Amino acid sequence: MTKAIKCGYLLRYKRRLFSRYWREEFMVLYEDSTVAWFKNKSRSEPEGCLLLRDAPQLMAIGEYTMRVPHRPASLPSGCTLKQLMAFGTANRQKVHWFVAKSEDEIKYLSPTLFSFFSFIFLLFFPFFSLFLLKL
């Protein structure tokens, strides 16, 4: 992986055979658009990772997550829809769900996430510029 450009704790939705829950995990966004998540900050091996540039059209934040299938039934206590993020994989096999701990964190994180893909988003989603104005 390349140089880390943003990091911090987010809540990640975990779906298991008999349980579903939100768990706090340490997230790192790298220059090459990799998002990696770790059980805690001191771990060197990620629990998982995702290359965002492989599927920029499968990213959604806030109200746009309403259009993504298999949305979690409930959000963690105190969280709103504005804090919800969804990242799909290129083969459309899985959607990774994350929640920022506050709306301020989303405002801090989303410009960086979408800076990788602003041109692509404007081509695919003309309403994207309106979305940025709402933040």
Q: How many residues in total does the chain contain?
A: 135
pTM (2 d.p.): 0.77
Domain ranges in the chain are 4-134
Along the 135 residues of the chain, how does pLDDT read in single tens digits? 589 888 889 999 988 778 788 999 999 988 888 889 999 888 889 999 988 887 767 788 888 899 888 889 899 999 999 999 998 887 767 889 999 988 888 777 766 666 655 544 444 444 444 444 444
Side-chain-facing half-sphere of 29: CA atoms under 13 Å: 19
Answer CATH for 4-134 from 2.30.29.30, 3.10.20.30, 3.40.190.10, 2.40.50.140: 2.30.29.30
